[in-house]
Structure 1
């Protein structure tokens, strides 16, 4: 009996790992790894029989996987907040900033130029920075949701290229103002109106992806699923925020 229980326990643990792998691949839309597909037909049948007799192992596997992911996410967020406190410039890196350059109060925005909620938040941020320009530093981070917005990454590349010539915020404002016109014609038209060096603009667009991907990786590491998303100190807010929402964050951060 003990031998059987031990064998069953090992098989259940093996099955749980297969379920976790399968669920992850299902979510990511990836094929199963070789180690999960090279299982013998006999073992597969044994696993299926266990599922029939012990369906609770499926739920247990899902719960264990979710708990592990939540713990990993919490650790990543804690590390981010610690870095924001101890080394804000390292976290800001080359990202565009505006507002009080020496302010310890930092508002980080993750945004997508084609997201309608980001366009609404843009209007709110303009009001915030007009009223509190000397109180807060606004940092822009890219989180283009390219699976939903075809122009999100091209727009981000164009804005990054404008940033290399010191015109990010003007370019950023133009993209949100003309969000319904996002496309190559708009990118070039805005560049011309801002008197950018077009040759440099084109070259910089071609190499913009590296830094944009760094922003995306950070957003994914923090578990962000949508835009806009704002972080100030240890607090967060998302969606089409109101001015009062951001002012409350600012008041608590001081």
Structure 2
């Protein structure tokens, strides 16, 4: 939990859904996340590093085994290891969620399944696990495994004889050599390996199933789609984050204009480096690094603002550093089109920014104001409401690229 405590804490704070009622997971309180002050090198802004290092997955990670059933890229930033039982309803629900994550984020997620048959609780726990292992010997573990769990309600109450017929039929449907499948089911080493895995789980004290590990560390939940997809997006974003403070631009040479090239047209900003030098320096640095490319306006509150600048589109993403607010007395949110840096606390300016759709005096002294829209504000005023994580949210207006213009 140490390396990912900050991610889990954010999700626990933001999640609305609770873990499934059928799950029997222990409650684990994540420790507080930590951050470190980065000493500003000459010519850089002063910032605090909050970067979560991306895992280095060159070769086989130490928490994976040679005989693991694994699906996904070897260098995927998120490796989800699940312990489960084929006859357990909670295991079926979790497997469906992990399969959905793999499909939604094919370049970010690698999933691993380790069978833990509860032979004292379910009458077909070992029989089902043997069938999946027999399918694996023909290179068809995942299609057989996913079907077996997805169709659990069809077979979990069958007699042993009827279950034998079911798994033979499933083998045929996924394209296995049924005769070889039947032969492999009776292979002595197959059952021995499954029982050995169960004994190992008991020896190391695994409390039950399903259990989920993220990059080798226990993940206690929440186990809903929004929470796990948020976790995946944030962990994938960590590979892009920066560990150093961005260069501080001179007021004389800092760009004064920026163009957000969206899929619907350009939004042109006038920047205020004199009043908000750190904010403009960070924005220009991120724009030149391509951080804002393909971002969407992931949150839209009609009559208030449109927010963007988070490639994860969760509302929780950041560039790996934060810096303090800059409040200029002569700049106020007194009109539409003001450009401000979003923060969730005074020292937490990052990459996210918003554009006001009306005067918003309540933002004065709360957010750093660093620019003004001088063209294209009408594009934002027509956007429908949008909230991060909303299942049926309309597509967000996408920023294709950002150009900054020197004075």
Query: TM > 0.5 between the two?
Result: yes
Q: 1:105 to 1:186 in 2, by over 3 A?
A: same
Aligned to 2:148: 175
Q: Deviations over 1:190-243 (max 9, x none)?
A: 011122112221222123213223432332233112111011135323588212
1:129 aligns with 2:102: yes
Q: Distance in 2 between matches of 1:240 and 1:216?
A: 26
Retained in 2: the 8 A contact 1:104–1:136? yes
Hey, what's the Cα distance between the residues in 1 that align with 2:216 and 2:95? 22
8 Å Cα contact 2:77/2:235 also seen in 1: no
Which of 80, 86, 98 is matched with 1:107 structurally?
80
Alpha-carbon distance in structure 2 between the residues aligned to 1:175 and 1:222: 27
| Counterparts of 1:104 and 1:140, CA distance in 2 | 17
Structure in which a larger fraction of residues adopt strand? 2
Shift of 1:166: 1.1
Q: 2:124 aligned with 1:144, yes or no? A: no
Q: Is the 8 A contact 1:228 1:239 kept in 2?
A: no
- For residues 108 and 123 of structure 1, what CA distance do their matches in structure 2 show? 14
Instruction: Confirm or deny that 1:217 pairs with 2:203.
Output: no
Q: Is the 8 A contact 2:58 2:75 kept in 1?
A: no
Which residue of 1 is the match for residue 167 of structure 2? 187
Alpha-carbon separation, structure 1, partners of 2:98 and 2:177:
28
Q: Helix, strand or coil: the match of 1:141?
A: strand
In 2, the alpha carbon distance for the partners of 1:248 and 1:220 equals 32
Q: CA deviation at 1:105?
A: 3.4
Match of 2:128 among 151, 155, 158: 155
Contact kept in structure 2, 1:92 and 1:139, CA below 8 Å: no
Moved more, 216-225 or 107-116: 216-225
Q: CA deviation at 1:164?
A: 0.8
Which stretches of structure 1, 4 residues or longer, exceed 6 Å deviation after superposition?
Answer: none
Tell me if the contact between 1:228 and 1:240 (Cα under 8 Å) persists in the aligned partners.
no
8 Å contact from structure 1 (residues 110, 219) kept in 2: no
- More helix by proportion, 1 or 2? 1
TM-score (norm 2): 0.38
Q: 1:165 aligns with which of 123, 131, 138?
A: 138
Secondary structure at the counterpart of residue 109 of structure 1: strand
1: CA distance, partners of 2:149 / 2:65: 22
In the TM superposition, what is the alpha-carbon distance from 1:144 to its structure 2 partner? 1.0
Q: Does the CA-based 8 Å contact 2:63-2:216 persist in structure 1?
A: no
| Range 183-192 or range 220-229, more displaced | 220-229
* Structure 1 counterpart SS, 2:80: strand
Tell me which moved more, 117-126 or 150-159: 117-126
- Is the 2:171–2:178 contact (alpha carbons within 8 Å) kept by the matching residues of 1? yes
The question of whether the paired residues in 2 share the 8 Å contact of 1:85 and 1:233 is answered with no
Q: Distance in 2 between matches of 1:119 and 1:147?
A: 18
Consecutive unaligned residues of structure 1, counting only runs of 5 or more, are: 1-83
Higher relative contact order (CA 8 A, sep 6+): 1
SS of the residue corresponding to residue 201 of structure 1 reads: helix
Counterpart Cα distance in 2 of 1:209 and 1:91 = 21
Structure of larger gyration radius: 2
Aligned pair 1:205/2:178, yes or no? Answer: no
CA RMSD of aligned residues (A): 2.6
Any unmatched runs of 5+ in structure 2?
A: 1-56, 157-162, 239-407
